[in-house]
Structure 1
Amino acid sequence: MFDSAPLHDVGALQQSEAFERALISLGTPAHRLADGTLALQRQLGPLPVHMITRAAPQSPQELIETAKSLQAKGPVILAPDTPMPLHKYGAVPLVSPSGIAQIDLNPDIDTLHKGLHQKWRNRLKHARRQSLRLTRQNMPDDPDHWLLQADALQQTRRRYRSWPIDLTLAYGRENRGQSKLFTAFWGREPVAAILILRHGTSATYHIGHARASGRIASAHTLLLWSAITWCKAKGVERLELGVVDTEEGQGLARFKLGTGAQVRPLGGTWIYWPPFSQLLRPVAHLDRRLMGSI
């Protein structure tokens, strides 16, 4: 197994140098602005659309100034890392904020274990009694890997979209040792797996899947604890477990929060483009309460 030294950038995966390298390798337009923010570009008909997702903490004024440097070319989509009142600066809300679960890995491993919820610890004990065999390796550069295919099928069934398989594989190719696959085997059968992406002193739970036998054996719990201990040993300070949806994904939310993770609100999604903003300004106030920016 190959574990390279960590990268130096810190913060959200979507702003990391590791993510930038993966995008560029696929020919996706992405560039660093003068303030260090990573901006992506998409084409919407004749209009170029720039997207800034989870930029490093900054003031609303600074984020809007960044958007102004791009808006002459077309609309700018902003998804701040924290809630902020962007409507005061001409942005229009599109999607209300969500919350993400994050584990602070700075405490020692015993403290992290004590922070597990009792039911989560019970499932961990159960998994340890199942004679599961765990492996850790760099994510194979294989689009037909069973985890990637299972995740793609799940996205179709549940009607959501995540990264395309090509981008997930590119991340591993361009960031050697930073895309880690943890797999649980029952005999020779892989029954569960999770993929963790490292980026600087942070890491992100990217995808995971448990087959029926894996769910019976609580394999996912054992895998995530294995990933937590590995990240801790590698100097990772923060492990992000993704969005917490307490309405439509209560079971998954409980699983994430059972690790002792804390929920932190993001800033929602906004559009900044003066022609569009002026058109929708009369009704924009209706959505402001959803953005946490009153």
Structure 2
Amino acid sequence: MFDFAPSPPATALPLQQSPLFADALTAVGVNAISHVLPGGRALVIRRRWPGIGTVGLISRGPVWTGRRNPQALAGLRRALGIRHLIVNADDAADAAALRQAGFLRIAAPREVAELSLLGPREAWWASMSVKWRNRLRHGQKSGLVVTQNAFRPDPAHWLLSEDIAQQKRLNFRALPHAVTLAMASALPGAAQLFTARAAGRPVAAMLFLCHGPVASYHIGWSSDIGRANSAHNLLLWQAMQSLSAAGHQRIDLGAHNPDDAPGLARFKRGSGARTRPLGGTWACSAALGPVQSIAEWWHKT
């Protein structure tokens, strides 16, 4: 059975700046607001820390309707009424605007992998690496049965149980499942689950969150049987076709980190995804006022 995601609106946004994410954060009690600033808007998460004050976080934003506005960024912390503001910039242009506004960079840019769903399927196939295509052919001949369904927002869902186990086994942390469940509840059909089964039992799965023209890869899991049968290659190929048919133009495959997760990075690149750097992490703080003033003056000279 294949349940298609809702028809996407026109605006392409990172998941972290999407209404879907904003509604989910509010539903789980996170202090998140959509702040309008001259020329754009930003989803801001706010949290008060004892002895530090209120800290704001903007991830992959602000989202601009036209040119970036360094002047608006320079006054953003005060406009929000907070002592500290951290911004994870989406690209180099955002980084340049933040630098001009007097923000200080506190972390280097990370990379993301983005898979285009534009053009004919022949072009998708041609963009894959030879090894990835061979693994896909292997998966297609394996006898695995692929299904697609809207993800049920059930805390006891089997995929969440498998994800908890793999996070412990592989020693990593991801977005809390409460937020995943809230996104699935906020817009039924926005969370799409692709499952590979052998003899009726799940052996691999990929969960995508659909927001506008973009679908973000959110959770992936595979058993030994799934890995032996190239299940994730098969699942991603099916997801590409299905999400494209639903009107989505790109899959955000998330972080590309060949140092810490070389196998996953190869999988993403092999699928035909393009990697690009984000803009780094930047900070503006009332405690760094004099330093930021010097940095802004230095940039202008």
1:92–1:281 Cα contact (<8 Å) kept: no
**Structure 2 SS opposite 1:143:** coil
Aligned to 2:257: 245
After superposition, the CA RMSD in angstroms is 2.2
Cα offset, 1:88, TM superposition? 4.6
Give the whole-Å Cα distance in 1 for the aligned partners of 2:260 and 2:175. 21
Aligned to 2:35: 33
Does residue 81 in structure 1 map to residue 93 in structure 2? no
What CA deviation, in whole Å up to 9, does each residue of 1:200-231 have, x standing for no partner?
A: 01110011011111000000110011111111
Aligned to 2:57: 51
Give the whole-Å Cα distance in 1 for the aligned partners of 2:215 and 2:153. 20
Aligned length: 283
Give the whole-Å Cα distance in 1 for the aligned partners of 2:172 and 2:99. 28
Deviates more, 1:147-156 or 1:15-24: 147-156
What CA deviation, in whole Å up to 9, does each residue of 1:92-131 have, x standing for no partner?
A: 2222211100012111122112211111110000001111
Distance 1:245 1:60, change over 3 A: farther
Q: Identity, % of aligned pairs?
A: 34
Deviates more, 1:26-35 or 1:155-164: 155-164
2:284–2:292 Cα contact (<8 Å) kept: no
**Structure 2 SS opposite 1:73:** coil
What letter corresponds to residue 107 of structure 1 in structure 2?
G
Q: How does 1:162-177 map to 2 (within 5 A)?
A: 162-177=174-189
Give the whole-Å Cα distance in 2 for the aligned partners of 1:59 and 1:43. 28
Give the whole-Å Cα distance in 2 for the aligned partners of 1:241 and 1:63. 31
Distance 1:42 1:153, change over 3 A: farther
Cα offset, 1:257, TM superposition? 0.4
Gaps of 5+ in 1: 285-294
1:127–1:222 Cα contact (<8 Å) kept: yes
Does residue 12 in structure 1 map to residue 14 in structure 2? yes
Give the whole-Å Cα distance in 2 for the aligned partners of 1:163 and 1:140. 17
2:128–2:270 Cα contact (<8 Å) kept: yes
What CA deviation, in whole Å up to 9, does each residue of 1:120-173 have, x standing for no partner?
A: 110000001111011111111222222212222333344432210110011011
Give the whole-Å Cα distance in 2 for the aligned partners of 1:220 and 1:62. 45
What letter corresponds to residue 267 of structure 1 in structure 2?
G
One of 245, 270, 273 as aligned partner of 1:258: 270
1:181–1:195 Cα contact (<8 Å) kept: yes
Gaps of 5+ in 2: 296-301
Does residue 231 in structure 1 map to residue 243 in structure 2? yes
Aligned to 1:23: 25
Does residue 67 in structure 1 map to residue 46 in structure 2? no
TM-score normalised by the chain length of structure 1: 0.89
What letter corresponds to residue 25 of structure 1 in structure 2?
A
1:104–1:239 Cα contact (<8 Å) kept: yes
1:195–1:207 Cα contact (<8 Å) kept: yes
Give the whole-Å Cα distance in 1 for the aligned partners of 2:253 and 2:214. 11
Give the whole-Å Cα distance in 1 for the aligned partners of 2:291 and 2:80. 16
One of 220, 228, 232 as aligned partner of 1:216: 228
**Structure 2 SS opposite 1:14:** helix
Give the whole-Å Cα distance in 1 for the aligned partners of 2:204 and 2:231. 6
Distance 1:64 1:103, change over 3 A: same
TM-score normalised by the chain length of structure 2: 0.87
